[in-house]
Amino acid sequence: MDTRDTELKKELDATLRARRELGEEYESALVDSFLEKVDQRIDGAVERRVRRQLAEQQMVVARGARTPKPTDSWGERFGFGIVTLVLAIPLSAIGGGVARLPGLLVAWAGIVGVNAFQAARANPHLFGRRRKGAEDGGGWEE
């Protein structure tokens, strides 16, 4: 149990003892006082979290790094490639069966296009573009 939780439990016990001693006519004031302490505790916790997150964001900006995206992992990129190759089998069969060679070429152009788009999104420098820094106004440059 956290020391703050212990302090809050002591406050609650003191409030309940005071209510027993003072009677029901002071119950509302005692409850309001206890709730004010709980609100202060919550506000303090939220403030600490916000300050910590702001500090982390400032560290990222100061280092010039970008926050990692879940799609940046090697495993997800590899999985995406495997899924598109698995889907290529029925797409090739359908395209080749319906329109022969032109259908097969269209199916594979789509497969290559989807993979190229995914690669360009994950690694902008692959196709001669690089991401501008925040000081350059963001966006892409050729």
Q: Where are the domains of the chain?
A: 3-63, 70-141
pLDDT tens profile 14-56: 888 888 888 888 888 888 888 888 888 888 888 999 999 899 8
Between the alpha carbon of residue 109 and those of residues 83, 106, 123, 137, the distances in Å are 16, 5, 20, 34
Whole-number pLDDT of residue 105? 93
- Helix boundaries (H) for 64-141: 74-122
pLDDT tens profile 70-103: 555 777 888 888 888 888 888 889 988 889 999 9
Between the alpha carbon of residue 12 and those of residues 19, 29, 48, 68, 97, the distances in Å are 10, 13, 24, 44, 76
Whole-number pLDDT of residue 101? 92
Quote the radius of gyration of the chain (alpha carbons, Å): 30
pTM of the model: 0.41
The residue ranking higher by pLDDT, 1 or 28, is: 28
* pLDDT beyond 60 at 137: no
